[in-house]
Amino acid sequence: MKILIDEGTIKKRVAEIAKLVALEFNGQPITVVGVLTGCLIFVADLVRQLDIPVRICFVRASSYRGETTVPGDLNIDASMLPDIHDRNILLVDDILDSGHTLSKLKKYLGEKGCRSIRTAVLLRKLGRQEHPIEPDYCGFEIPDKFVVGYGLDYNDEYRNLPYIGELN
Ligand code: IMP
Ligand code: MG
């Protein structure tokens, strides 16, 4: 496994993002909505650095793209989502690839009547985006490689690695 981003570098960047989020919300409470399962570690580290009142909840999203490049429908499981009416939302995912997941989820949450919605991703793969969405917070831009660790998986494995590695 080739290490792309080491543990210390991630830690530093997550702390920077937390500072920027806290600065933007300026003491107002936010609801962090994590996209399972990849967000797991990022959300856990981010919220512990956030110096504002935080609620945490999760949604699950899966797309059926298979081997084709045709973007399939996004299946959203929001059964764990509380009432987000009038709340400031920070939608958190592990990686922005085609942008399908984040753009669809942002639209979905927006229709639930939240007050505001911001998006944060740990990683953004360059040259892959098909859906127009600009994340408000992004940890690192990476080349078009399949990566694992720090929540990201291959066949549900490697999520526990403390670094971002390039799978070969
Ligand atoms: P998008 O909808 O194409 O932006 O895909 C985002 C989702 O695809 C992420 O939430 C990940 O679960 C998954 N994904 C995309 N690229 C990778 C990768 O390199 N490693 C692991 N998961 C990935
Ligand atoms: Mg995911």
Query: pLDDT tens for residues 88-143?
Result: 999 999 999 999 999 999 999 999 999 999 999 999 999 989 899 999 999 999 99
- Supply the pTM of this predicted model: 0.94
Residue 83 Cα to ligand 2 midpoint, Å, equals: 23
Name residue, tokens 């504002």: 52
Q: Is the Cβ atom of 96 under 6 angstroms away from ligand 1?
A: yes
Residue 95 Cα to ligand 1 midpoint, Å, equals: 6
Phi and psi dihedrals of 45, rounded to 5?
Answer: -75, -40
pLDDT of 65 above 70: no
Distance CA 35, CA 132 (A): 19
